Amino acid sequence: MKNTVFTGTATAIITPLNAQGVDYKKFAEMIEWQIACGVDAIVVAGTTGEGSTLTDNEHKEVIRFCVEQIAGRVPVIAGTGSNDTAYAIDLSKYACKVGADALLLVTPYYNKATQKGLYESFKAVADVCDKPCILYNVPSRTGCNLLPETVAQLAKHPRIVAIKEASGNLSQIAKLISLCGDEIDVYSGNDDQIVPIMSLGGKGVISVLSNVAPKETVEMCRRMLDGDTAGAAKLQLEYIELVDALFCEVNPIPVKAACAAMGYCENYLRLPLTPMEQQNEEKLLAAMKKVGILGE
């Protein structure tokens, strides 16, 4: 059995941006609030962190800053995946050098590699890095699906230790867990499937929801880990409307609007992302008020 990077809740944290660049003051505030609320890990510069529109220097600096701000209190997982394997290797090496505890490697997008290509790409990164690697399967964004049989092959690599599963396909995830056993940890990549995936043996979630509801997401996972499935399911259902609102437009558009409403960032995104449509933002803010995140 391999070492587990974290158990419970990892926040796929936003990157506060403004017209001048990254707002590191707000970023530090956001990190501190997350840790105070008990999250078990932070994922930096992933999809939710707008890693795809950060410059190379910003991407590296955001990782370095996050590592230094957290200072070992919880694991830092750096988003270093790319559709260019050579670039993913360089960025992963940098993240390891500055002290990231693990790497999050998304399936190469746009290229739509074969399963052999996916295997070789992930293996190439894991071969040259000295930190644990978490695979990230999100076919709706990347155009390719990392199949359970390929994950089972990759799980034999000593540094490939986990997968963030955001396919939404519970049958596929069940097959993956059946094939891999304890050779790989599985994390939910969808906030509406935290309880279902953990009921199959998942170790927790890499969450967008926890940007705005960290205590509640942590509690949901802890209830599952403690065997209180009914209590966890109650929270899952209580927050399902908010989860739906957080994904009514492409992530991270809604969560950026939500965090801005809470004062943790400006509602600023880089093209091709644009701020939420008004009717959708009203739906999001109403869902936040319903669960008490925002006042009336």
Sequential pLDDT tens for the chain (296 residues): 679 999 999 999 999 999 999 999 999 999 999 999 999 999 999 999 999 999 999 999 999 999 999 999 999 999 999 999 999 999 999 999 999 999 999 999 998 899 999 999 999 999 999 999 999 999 999 999 999 999 999 999 999 999 999 999 999 999 999 999 999 999 999 999 999 999 999 999 999 999 999 999 999 999 999 999 999 999 999 999 999 999 999 999 999 999 999 999 999 999 999 999 999 999 999 999 999 998 76
- Say if 112 falls within a structural domain: yes
pLDDT at 2: 78
* CATH for 38: 3.20.20.70
Main-chain dihedrals φ then ψ at residue 18, nearest 5 degrees: -145, -175
- Say if 292 falls within a structural domain: no
Please tell me the total count of domains within the chain: 1
Entry pTM: 0.97
Write out the two tokens for 16. 């506060």
- Say if 208 falls within a structural domain: yes
Residue of 60, 123, 131, 164 with catalytic role: 164
Angle among Cα 193, 216, 18 to the nearest 5 degrees reads 90
- Say if 275 falls within a structural domain: no
Expressed as residue numbers, the domain containing 26 is 8-228
pLDDT at 112: 87
DSSP state of 100: -
pLDDT at 127: 98
> Rg of the chain over CA atoms, in angstroms?
18
Q: What is the CA 87 to chain-centroid distance, rounded?
A: 20
| Residue 62: C-alpha distances to residues 24, 50, 98, 103, 274 (Å) | 8, 11, 11, 14, 21
Q: HSE of 280 in the Cβ direction (CA atoms, 13 Å)?
A: 19
Does residue 164 have an active-site annotation? yes
Does residue 289 have an active-site annotation? no
- Say if 288 falls within a structural domain: no
The residue among 111, 125, 188, 190 whose CA lies nearest residue 154 is 125
Residue of 119, 136, 239, 264 with catalytic role: 136
Contacts of 25 (CB under 8 A, 6+ apart): none
pLDDT at 1: 64
- Say if 256 falls within a structural domain: no
pLDDT at 184: 97
The strand pair at 17-18 and 21-22 is best described as antiparallel
pLDDT at 296: 62
DSSP state of 182: G
- Say if 26 falls within a structural domain: yes
- Say if 18 falls within a structural domain: yes
